[in-house]
Structure 1
Amino acid sequence: MSRAIAHVHLHLPRSGDETYRQLFTVLAGITPVVQALPADAALLDLTGALRYFDRDPAQLASLLQLRLAARFGVQSTVGIGPNRMLATLAAQTADPTTVQVLPDDPRAVTAFLDPLPVRALPDVGPRTSRTLAAYGLATVGELRGVPRATLQRITTAGTGRLLAERARGHDPRTVQPGGPPALLTARRDFGRDTVDPDTVRRALLSCALELGARLRTGGQVAGRLELEIRLADRSSTGRSRALGEATDHTGTLHTLLYDLHDSLGLQRARLRAMTVRAQALRPVESATVQLSFDRRAELRRRLDPVMDRAAACFGPGALTRAALLLTGGPRTAPGGPGGAPG
């Protein structure tokens, strides 16, 4: 089998941060070139491992699945392809717990990509997708038939060039070795795909409450927030932003999450799930708090330790926001970190 087919995208069941780190040690036992994609995926470059194990990529992927199942009891899904993008798309379109191999053959790659929606391509967000749809470009096959110069006029010079390359299955990115970063993750699954803005805002508030409580319990502050949205067509989009000052304050976290969500311009997109990651963690002792003369802001800040003490005495959800008591809200992912505070 061609050495070019050496990229693997591994999709794991949702788990807590510590469990993910333990799973990552098994991946490193196959190849040192592993890139963490918290909280449920990883990229592997098997180029050096093929000769060492004397197996082809599909056999190595099956060995990896076996080790994960034997040690942790988890069932994983694997996509294998000539580059990062194709491996990821192979994993996203594979049946659960299977291994899907996309061969290093231009005709096979074209046949695989052409029927996929444009949104399946990495870095194509809702706004770009809507722009392309206005010109009748809904699938990768339709996109591939458009000259690069035309795509650049429709979008921008950089975006048009990227779209033309991705539509032809080209992706020069390499796997960047790196273990799981220090972060906290909160995920919310919706009972059904939703377009209801109130449901989405309750989910964002719930994530902010959970992460704020976990930061304070661990004596940490976050310097960056990332929001990832999973859509009904199985594609995803997201944004991240650094905080002006590292914080564990729930109010600051949920305000930034609202801003991140609004910046995505999802409008009537159907949402399936969301994941929020608190990144750039450091000890609370190293953080500075800017003085504020906003009385309401200070009162909201004082509410955090009150809710923490109520949770410690009476359990999570003993004291929560009224908005989270409404029905039809999101569910905390099974096996996910922590629980919804409300």
Structure 2
Amino acid sequence: MTIRQGNALSPRGDSASDGTGESVPSGGSVPSVPVPSGGSVPPVPPVPPVPHTSDAPAGGADAPTVLCVRFRGAGGEAPDGAAYAGLLGMLGAFTPVVEAVGQDGALADVRGALRYFGRDAAGLASVIRVRALALYGVDCVIGAGPNPLLARMAAREAGPGTTVMVGDAAEFLAGRPVAALHGVGTATARALCGYGLDTVDRLAAAPLAVLQRILGARTGREVYEKAHGIDRTRVVPNAAARSVAAERAFPRDELDRDRHRRALLSLAGELGAGMRREGQVCRSLTLTVRYADRTTTTRTRVLSEPTAHSASLTGAAYRLLDALGLQRARVRALALRAEGLVPAERAARQLSFDPADDKARRLEAVADRARAKYGPRAVIPGSLAA
């Protein structure tokens, strides 16, 4: 069963507690809390446990014990580096098992925290959301499930200020397209659809041997387990991110193709700046388009060379969008994911004899320094400033 829980802040304008006895004004009026310069973050006060009673979470096999948390600023942007580090530290006050995901999210195994704090996953998610708002002015999109696979998929379904909880995996997965399974790419989904296995419930009904003949022994077993809601991976504390992602949700279903392209320009710039800051480059780029009916289309392009150059990422994103051939599609959100991250010093780069390209890269480095000193919007493309 999927349960949608709204923001812990009351919509009537009263106040809600952050779990420490302090009240926080509701109605979305919590001001952004500035992070002091120098990378320091506000201290995270301890979360006191509540007395354990018989109403505490039971902790059954299907009980949500993994949270996938995505952080969003007031304008839908990802938090800056210092705030993100502080948000990860805030999650660490609840559980030591926290894995950074991209530049705007985290996985948290709260198995032990549920019993220690005497709360269920929904209650813990509410406290996390209010605390993120109070300390950093950042909202959370949270998915909760019994494993990372279902928690990630639940977070994808959640809207701003909500938590989506997955109790029964079969009920949650039923009727979804196979491409909705986290980790199932376009080529795999196309191969399965060619055999009539276009939904997760049809996939789950197929024998393991059939899937292994279609996809191979290893991939067939992985997809078979995913279709049954089984995920053998674990949340790995402090694991290095293998991909980074950014998403833009439109305030209303958007038909304007120019607005789609401006959103991609912003997303590519955000990803590029983040990778350059971390000294990384990506090998491929994935575009996900979410439509008004909540269906999605995903396309991936392998880059000609590993890069973190914003112009190269923007060009690849535009080509992915153009390849979809959307005609007056009602787009609700766009997401870009940079995958195959490797350290920049280990990546081979083709020498360029184009002076314009060299000039663009030098200007990009200057813009990065300006953003680091004055904020992420200190230097932006002119089309985004309009």
CA RMSD of aligned residues (A): 4.5
Q: Match for residue 231 of structure 1?
A: 289
Q: Compute the displacement of 1:280 (Å).
A: 5.5
Q: What residue is the counterpart of 1:156 in the other structure? A: 216
Worse-matched range after superposition: 224-233 or 207-216: 207-216
Unpaired runs of at least 5, structure 1: 317-334
Number of aligned positions between the proteins:
304
Distance 1:46 1:214 in 2: 28
1:273 aligned residue (321, 334, 337): 334
Distance 1:182 1:155, change over 3 A: closer
Partner of residue 330, structure 1: none
Within-5 A mapping of 1:30-109: 30-94=94-158, 96-103=160-167, 108-109=168-169
Amino acid at match of 1:49: A
Matched with 2:66 is 7
Say whether 1:178 aligns with 2:241.
no
Task: Report the TM-score when normalising by structure 1.
Answer: 0.68
Call closer, same or farther: CA 1:158–1:113 in 2, change over 3 Å. Answer: same
Change (3 A) 1:201 1:58: closer
Identify the match of residue 116 of structure 1 among 176, 197, 203.
Answer: 176
Unaligned runs of 5+ in 2: 1-57
Deviation at 1:91? 2.7
Deviation at 1:8, TM superposition (A): 1.3
Residue 236 to residue 17, structure 1, CA distance change in 2 (3 Å): farther
Q: Which moved more, 1:200-209 or 1:108-117?
A: 200-209
Give the direction of change, closer, same or farther, for the CA distance of 1:242–1:22 in structure 2 (3 Å limit).
farther
Q: Report the 3-state secondary structure (helix = DSSP H, G, I; strand = E; otherwise coil) of the residue aligned with 1:174.
A: coil
Return the TM-score normalized by structure 2. 0.61
Q: Is the 8 A contact 2:104 2:246 kept in 1?
A: no
What fraction of aligned residue pairs are identical, expressed as a percent?
32
Instruction: Output the CA distance in 1 between the equivalents of 2:213 and 2:242.
Output: 41
CA distance 1:211–1:141, shift in 2 (3 Å):
closer
2:343 is equivalent to residue 302 of structure 1: no
Which one-letter code corresponds to 1:339 in the other structure?
Answer: I
Select the structure with the greater relative contact order (CA < 8 A; seq sep ≥ 6): 1
Q: Is 2:71–2:79's contact at 8 Å kept on the other side of the alignment?
A: no
Shift of 1:167: 0.8
1:339 aligns with 2:383: no
CA distance in 1 between counterparts of 2:128 and 2:159 reads 17
Query: In 2, distance between residues paired with 1:287 and 1:170?
Result: 35
Give the structure with the higher percent helix. Answer: 1
**Would the aligned equivalents of 2:79 and 2:138 in 1 still touch at CA under 8 Å?**
no
Give the distance between the partners of 2:136 and 2:201, measured in 1 at CA. 40
